[in-house]
Structures are given as C-alpha cells and as structure tokens.
Amino acid sequence: MIWAIPEDAVAAADSFDLVVIGCGPAGEKAGAQAAYFGKRVAVVERADAVGGSCINTGTVPSKTLRESALYFSGLKQRGLYGIDYSLKENLTVQDFMHHERAVVEMERSRILKNLELHRIELVQGQAAFEDEHTVTISGESRTRRLRGEVILISTGSKPHRPAEIAFDDIHTFDSDTFLQMDRIPKSLAVIGGGVIGCEYASIFMALGVDVTLVDGRDKLLPFLDAEISERLRDRFASLGMHLWFNERPVKAENTASGSRLTMKSGKVLETDAVLFAAGRRAAVDGLALEKAGLALNDKGYIAVDANYRTAVQHIYAAGDVIGFPALASTSMEQGRVAVCHAFGLKYKQRVASLLPMGVYTIPEISAAGETEESCKEGGNAEADFCAGGQETAWRQHDWGIGDGVDSCGHDGAGQWADD
C-alpha cells in the first residue's frame, strides 16, 4: 500500500523541537540551552556570519574602537610624545580596528563551535513564517521548510531611519553602518543621547574629533540617576563636546564635503559626518509575523509575557526584538529562560531582577538597581546619594580623562552600592 504524503508535510529531517530564528546572543544561547537538555534544535541565520549585531556591528566593534581611542587619548594626555600620535589626514576607522578583526573572528568561531558541540543545525537563509509551526528558509541555493514544535524569534533590532534624514552611508550613517566610515571625520554630529549615541560621541571626542551631541530631551541617558547623568553631561562639556538639548534635526542634506542639518529651532549645523543614533526597531522585515498570528506592539516590538512567550502559545521571543533593555547578556538570559519555560525545564526560570548596567562612554558608567529618583518615587524617603566612585575614578586618572569624581548610590534595599 502506498501512503500519499500531503504536499505541505515537512520531512522528518526538517522537524525540530526548537527552531530559533536569528543567531545573535539570544538565539545562540537559547539554542544551546535547549540542546543541552536533549532537544533537537535548528538555528536559522540570514547573515553571512553568526553573532548578530553584538559581534558584527555593535558591541564588539564599538568597544574595540573605544579601547583604541582610550589608548590614543591616554598617550596624548600623559604627554608621551616619543612617537607622533596626532591623527594623520584621512585616517580610517579601520586603522583603529586591527584588533577588532581578530576578536570578531575568534567570537564567530567560538559560536560555530558551540553550535557544533550541541549538535545544533545551523541553517543559512532568511526565515519567514508560513504558518505558526512552519518557517520557510530562503537560502542562496534552495528554499527549505522547517517545522518547530517551539519557535523562538531572536531576530534583534535595526536602526530607525527617519525619512527626513538623508542616509547615504558616506556622510550620514546609522549605528549599523557607522564603523564602515572610510575616514575619521574632523567634525561629527551625533543625533541621540542614548547609550549608543553617548558612547560614540565620547569615543570620537577622544580621537580628537569636534563632536556635537544633539538630543530631543533635556538630559543624557534618562534611565540613570539624574546625578550621574548630570555628571556625564558636565564631563562631556569639559572635554569640549558641544551639547544641544531639546533639539532635533528636521532636515539633513549631504553636500560634497559633509552634511548640513537644520534643527527644529532653525539652527543649522554643518559637519563632516553625522551619526543618527536615535532609536532602534525590531528587525522583523520579511518574517511574515502575521502568518503566525503575531503583530508588533505600539512601541514597534514583539510583546511577550514574563516567560518570553508571545501571544501564540508555542512561539517565544527574546533579545532586542522585544525591546528594553536590549543588552547582549540580558538577551542571552532571556533566550535561556524562554526555552526552559517552553520545554518545562526547571533550570532557569527568571532573568535576574537586578541587572548590572555598563555604559562604555569615556568616562564609563556602571549601575545596578534603583535610582535615587525611583527610590523616592517608591516612598523610600531615606534614599540618599554620595559622590566619590572608586574603580571608574581610578581608571579616569590613569588615562588622564577625568577628575575622578563619580556618583555612587543606594541599592534601594539598605546597602550603599559602594559598601
């Protein structure tokens, strides 16, 4: 007797306990966690390389450039002028990134090895939902259909590109294309005083670039303690950065030599280069979420519950695609928690409620727990804060970039963060 195979059936070889879409920090760690507990896992990645924005365009490249900038500014300010450390004409970002290539390659191989160790199948191609259990993968050579008992969406985020900004990736960049810049500009406008904007603004300041940081609000990094935010603003200003608050560009034109930004107040800013770093969005282009019965929320992200489960029972989402805090280590933990919940594993049931935060500005900031403002809002009248941070301050002295004064505070539970 010959059994008729339904046309839409997925071959057993293409049926997995877990299909992960996206191989950044969230996808890699979620896949490894499920495979560790014996699940059959496929991870789909559309880019040529694994690692997501963490390894390829964001965390690792920006931190490598930062180290070079620190080295450069430290040498300059400590007066060790045996060698000419002043910036040469037409220096490229790549000149500062020798070490980055080695780190990126090492990380990519580590990820591939991790997938291999866990017997995870890496499927190359763009994933799109066909229905709530089936994902179609369009690769270079063929199209493949995968069935997932559970599916994890970990497709990350992409920079917001507003229509009024003329991105040409020659003079005007977003945070994904910025480090492809073919030279270090003499002047730079950074639009957006969030983490990415502040980090790049301070790195380029340290490289000797004339930086103007523009933000629509009246403070930098508003999720931090107001006092820390103010200190950072003062430090930036004392290092020579121009800060334009309550301002935003309404028009950006590229010229032969740079970019011309017209602000909402009518002020005009002309610079060699512009980094637009005001906001990111869930990267769900081409994913056909609607075919799985999903949609983005009004903030432009995939909504999940405390277990990282979406509105569809067996579909989970983790990492940047669900929004704040959009950090690499948090994304990894979210991925692990999501698959533990999906398969009823008791191993990891919550992401820690107290997440340390590192902001790699120059000078750097670290924080954990409540802010002074949130303590007070929560009715903790005893919340009080002091000045005189330790490690960061030492490092600033060492590099010659600060006066060694930082803020430290209360953890909201009776302990001084510096105790």
Ligand X SMILES: Cc1cc2nc3c(=O)[nH]c(=O)nc-3n(C[C@H](O)[C@H](O)[C@H](O)COP(=O)(O)OP(=O)(O)OC[C@H]3O[C@@H](n4cnc5c(N)ncnc54)[C@H](O)[C@@H]3O)c2cc1C
Residues within the interface to ligand X (CB under 6 A): 21-27, 44-47, 52-54, 58-59, 62-63, 126-127, 154-156, 175, 196, 283, 286-287, 319-321, 326-329, 331, 360
Query: Which one, 18 or 196, has the nearer CB to ligand X?
Result: 196
CB atoms within 10 A of CB 165: 22
State in angstroms the smallest separation of the CB of 195 from ligand X. Answer: 7
Q: Which residue has the tokens 């709530």?
A: 132
Query: Which one, 21 or 383, has the nearer CB to ligand X?
Result: 21
State in angstroms the smallest separation of the CB of 21 from ligand X. Answer: 5
Query: Which one, 275 or 393, has the nearer CB to ligand X?
Result: 275
What gap in Å lies between CA 168 and CA 402, rounded to an integer? 35
* Phi, psi (rounded to 5 degrees) for 28: -60, -50
**Closest by CA position to 186, among listed 260, 63, 89, 277:** 89
State in angstroms the smallest separation of the CB of 64 from ligand X. Answer: 11
What gap in Å lies between CA 225 and CA 206, rounded to an integer? 24
Q: Are 361 and 199 in contact (CB under 8 A)?
A: yes
State in angstroms the smallest separation of the CB of 95 from ligand X. Answer: 19
**Closest by CA position to 385, among listed 373, 398, 396, 397:** 373
State in angstroms the smallest separation of the CB of 144 from ligand X. Answer: 12
Query: Which one, 161 or 267, has the nearer CB to ligand X?
Result: 161
Query: Which one, 136 or 380, has the nearer CB to ligand X?
Result: 136
E strand or H helix that includes residue 408: strand 407-408
State in angstroms the smallest separation of the CB of 290 from ligand X. Answer: 14
What gap in Å lies between CA 394 and CA 400, rounded to an integer? 10
What gap in Å lies between CA 236 and CA 225, rounded to an integer? 17
Query: Which one, 75 or 325, has the nearer CB to ligand X?
Result: 325
